[in-house]
Amino acid sequence: MNMPILLPLRKSSAMNVDTLIARRHLMANKKQTLVAMLGVTFGIAMFILMISFMVGVNQFMEDTMLSSVPDIHIYNDIKTDYSASIAKDYYKNKNTLIAVYHPKPKQIALNIKNADGIINDLKTEKGIDAVSPMISTQVFYSYGPVQINGYINGVNIMEESRLYDLAGKMTDGIPENLLTSDRGIIMGHGLADKLNLKMGDMVTLATPTGTTMRCRVVGLFKIGMSAIDNIRSYVNLADAQQLMGRDKSYITDIDIKLRDNTLATEKSIAFTKKYNYKAEDWQTANSSITASNIVRDTLTMVVSITLLVVAGFGIYNIMNMTIKNKMKDIAILKAQGFAGKDIVQIFLSQSVFIGLLGAISGLILGFLLSFALSRVPFPKNDFVALNFFPVIFRPSHYLFGLVFGVITPFIAGLMPSLKASKIDPVIILRG
Amino acid sequence: MSIALQVEKLNKHFHEPEDFHVLHDISFSVNKGEFVPVIGKSGCGKSTLLYLLSTLDTNYDGKIIINGTKVTGKSQNELARFRNENIGFVFQFHFLLPEFTALENVMLAALKLGRLSKTEIEEHALDKLKQLQMDGFAHKLSTKLSGGQQQRVAIARALINDPVMIMADEPTGNLDSGNTKIVFDIFRELSRNKGITVLTVTHDLDFAKHADRVIEMIDGRII
């Protein structure tokens, strides 16, 4: 007659009671909750700030580098092997040992033979965005009595512009000016400053072999690296060939821009093999920058993880203290039928809540700090063209921060919570 | 009359600091609706016995059957659920959660059981408080109540899931004679009118005098 009445179990209230208790604990110790939360907040904020800044710096370095270095550069490397000698041909078929002592290097043409063929072939290749043939030579720039040493690049300006986005780096004029003017020259900003050249001025170029040419300044560019802006100028390919006394097919370098520059290494190896000229990818040409990127990334990770681990220890401490204070409560809850997993849930959810709230406020703080930093003017100098500190805002960083901000308190809270669930209520209830 | 609690050959040892045989071959049974004080000198093992019966301490030899269910050998999770449904606890100290009001303290175990909706539980809990004349203090924080009031809230808490048994460890140990009388009358009323079995460890001989039956212990044995 005393049959237990089977009512449908309303799981929700049973599940909620654990979170209800957790919430009360958090609210009862607001100050302590806040302190634990701030640990995570600062950890995550610093992580966001550091990674945004470091990746910003990396990106800036890479951009600057790529604005002056092609993805792949094909050129005729000077051979340093002087062991071959025509003496061998003369004495052939005789048992003679031939040794030429200290030979002088012979004159070699550094041009790429069949450059047109290679360029046409490259243009049919997949994944290539732009191909720019080029010749380069050392010149003296003279304007009035001043002479300055530098380089000119003879280029097809439209191709070159696609490679390096020259249009966006012109401080005066446009790249197309080179095509519409007779013997025009687009000059590096620093170089023009030194010579006090303005748009429309005539400058004389003199090669080491003695030939000269007068050109009119039709544009000024500023890439942002003094090593380039102070010495380089662009002229039409034909003008450069004429200045050097070479024919129309004389090309010394081919610069390539890829659609995906991460493929540069494998492509460059393939090109070296295919065309039998040296093909160098941008990573190899700038291995020092790639290396410093790795150093910065590692540093960011180490510092961020340290901050989060410290925050994790803070939470661990506070949870341990809370549990020590709540021994009686845990004992009576267990007596009343709360299982070990309920106790774990009560305390772990506090820890995760602290983490979640800390992480979210950390992301907001991190964003604000990063934003503030991105508005701080960068100290002016001649070497880098930076107006503000380089900061990058990337959603993946924020997602990573959030995940890490939740996982760290979870792990930190797990141990004290498990300990709490193992408390023997008898010892406490007996007093 | 049906049997609420049956105990067979209960033996218990303490191993720390040295081996000590606390309970010797304890066997007895209690009927439904009985009010049974357990008395005896300090250290005779009466509290230890109570904690074995309450399923909180599972480290013993023998067999315990509560309301027809053998609790010996059940897992901790099963026991937690069993206590939640069947046993109400009252201790010398009230053990109310300080962050919660009197009403909420009473409600927690029912919320855990999850059989009723929150509003039904609240109604139910208010009933229990009314039964103990504590309904006027329902929305006060438990820390703001006096010792006697706290103990009455603790008793209401023990009743919330309509348990078959109430186990009490020195429930009047901290109370003055007035409050002791109140608690005694409540227990009495519960066993007589609601058919709840009340098993309480006590020092209070007055308390024991008026009970249906007394279990007296000496040196780990029932006499």
Name the minimum distance, in Å, from the CA of A320 to any CA of chain B: 18
Torsions phi, psi for A311 (to 5 deg): -60, -40
Cβ contact, residue pair B115, A7, below 8 Å: yes
Interface test mutation site (partner B, options A341, A426, A427, max chain B beta carbons within 10 A): A426
Tokens read off for A395: 């959603």
Q: Are A339 and B77 in contact (CB under 8 A)?
A: yes
Residue A423's closest chain B neighbor by CA?
B56
pLDDT at residue A4, as a whole number: 41
Contacts of residue B121 in chain A, CB cutoff 8 Å?
13
B47 touching A (Cβ < 8 Å)? yes
Q: How far apart are CA B47 and CA A164, in angstroms?
A: 87
State the Cα–Cα distance between residues B62 and A287, nearest whole angstrom. 77
Smallest CA–CA separation between B89 and chain A, in Å? Answer: 7
Q: What is the pLDDT of residue B1?
A: 60
Tokens of A277: 């000229």
* Cα–Cα distance, B23 to B219 (Å, whole number): 8
For A179, list phi and psi in degrees, rounded to 5.
-80, -35
Side-chain half-sphere exposure of B193, counting CA atoms within 13 A = 7
CA distance A173 to A221: 9
Chain B residues near residue A13 by CB distance under 8 angstroms:
111, 114, 116-118, 121
Q: How far is B84 from chain A (nearest CA, A)?
A: 4
Whether B59 contacts chain A with CB within 8 A: no
- Alpha carbon distance A267, A254 (integer Å): 14
Single-letter code of the amino acid located at B102 = A
Q: Is there a contact between B115 and A340 if contact means CB atoms under 8 Å apart?
A: no
Task: Say if CB A405 and CB A412 are below 8 A apart.
Answer: no
Residues of B in contact with A336 (CB under 8 A): 83-84, 89, 108-109, 112, 157
Put simply, the answer to whether A328 touches B91 (Cβ < 8 Å) is no
> What element of type H or E holds A60?
helix A30-66
Quick check: B11 pLDDT over 70?
Answer: yes
Whether residue B171 has pLDDT greater than 50: yes
The residue range of the domain holding B120 is 3-222
- Listed as ranges, residues in chain A with pLDDT below 50 are 1-14
Buried/exposed code over A261-291 (b: 16+ C-beta within 10 A; e: otherwise)? beebbebbeebbeebebebbbbbebbeebbe
What is the tens place of the pLDDT at every residue in B84-117? 999 999 988 889 999 999 999 999 999 988 888 8
Residues of chain B neighbouring A425 (CB-CB closer than 8 A) = 56
Q: What tens digit of pLDDT does each residue of A307-351 get?
A: 878 878 888 888 888 888 889 999 999 999 899 999 999 999 999
Distance CA B52, CA B65 (A): 11
The CATH number assigned to the domain holding B79 equals 3.40.50.300
What residue segments make up the domains of chain A, in order of their start? 15-65+289-429, 72-77+107-285
Query: Residue A203 half-sphere exposure, CB side, CA atoms within 13 Å?
Result: 33
Residue corresponding to tokens 């503030």: A372
User: For residue B82, what pLDDT is reported?
Assistant: 93
Total domains present in chain B: 1
Question: Which residues pair with residue A150 across a beta bridge?
Answer: A139
Euclidean distance between CA atoms A274 and A279, whole angstroms: 10
Cβ-based contacts of A331 with chain B (< 8 Å): 95
Element housing A140 (H / E): strand A128-143
ipTM of the complex: 0.92
Tokens of B206: 């007055």
Q: How confident is the model at residue A3, as a pLDDT?
A: 40
Residues sharing a CB contact under 8 Å with residue B159, sequence separation 6 or more, in sequence order: B88, B128, B131, B166, B190, B196
Q: How confident is the model at residue B80 (pLDDT cuts 50, 70, 90)?
A: very high
A20 vs chain B: nearest CA distance in angstroms? Answer: 9
User: Distances from the Cα of B40 to the Cαs of A234, B56, B89, B222, B223, in angstroms?
Assistant: 108, 21, 20, 9, 10
Whether residues B56 and A16 touch (CB distance < 8 A) is answered with no
Nearest to A336 among B47, B84, B116 (CB): B84
pLDDT at B197: 93
